[in-house]
Amino acid sequence: MWNLLLRIRYVSIIAVISAFVGSFFMFCLGAKKTFVALWDYFNGIRPEYIPDHMVAEDLVVGRLIIVLDTFLLAIILMYFGYAIYALFIIKDKEVEKSDFPGWLLPTGVGDLKETLAQVIIVLMFILALRVIWLGLDKLVWEMLVVPASIVLLAAALRIVGFKEKH
C-alpha cells in the first residue's frame, strides 16, 4: 500500500510536461512579439491601440516591455517544471549526480511558493509599467491601484518572512 501511495507522486509529471510546453510556447510568443514590434517600427506600422501622443521610439519601448513580461513568464514556467521534477520525480541521490544548477533546485514546496509570490510582484510591476506607459496622455488616480497592490503584496511577503536569496 505504501509503495502505491509513493508512486502517485509520478502524476506530477503532467505538471512538469505542461510547464515545459507552456514555457516553449511563451518563448515562441515572445520571439514573435519582438519580431512584430521591430518589423512594425522599421516599416512605420502603428497598431490601433497605441495612443496618438506616442512617437515610434516610445511605441517600440512599450511593446518591448510587453515582451519582457512574456519572456519572464516563459522562464518561470521552465523553472517550475525543473523544480517540480526535482522535488517529486527524481530521487535525492539522482539530484546530487545531475547537472542541475544549484539555484534551480528548490529545498521544498515553500521555495516554489516564495518564488511564485515574488514573480507575481514582478509581473504586476511590469503590468503597472505597461498601463502607465500606454496611458501617459490620460493619467487618472485609479491607475494607482496596481502600484498600491504591489506595495501591499511586497509588504505582506516581508511580514510573512520570506528570506532574501543571493
Tell me if 98 sits within 8 A of 90, measured CB to CB.
yes
State residue 163's pLDDT score: 58
Question: pLDDT over 70 for what percent of the chain?
Answer: 81
Residue 101 in this model has a pLDDT that exceeds 50: yes
State residue 166's pLDDT score: 44
Tell me if 37 sits within 8 A of 56, measured CB to CB.
no
From 59, 82, 73, select the one nearest 30 (Cα to Cα).
Answer: 73
Across the chain, mean pLDDT equals 81
Strand, coil or helix: what is 29?
helix
State residue 74's pLDDT score: 94
Give pLDDT tens digits for 33-86.
999 999 988 998 877 766 666 777 878 887 888 898 899 999 999 989 988 888
- Angstrom distances, CA of residue 22 to CA of 16, 27, 53, 79, 98: 10, 9, 35, 12, 24
From 36, 34, 32, 33, select the one nearest 46 (Cα to Cα).
Answer: 36
pTM: 0.76
Q: What is the mean pLDDT of residues 90-108?
A: 70
State residue 36's pLDDT score: 93
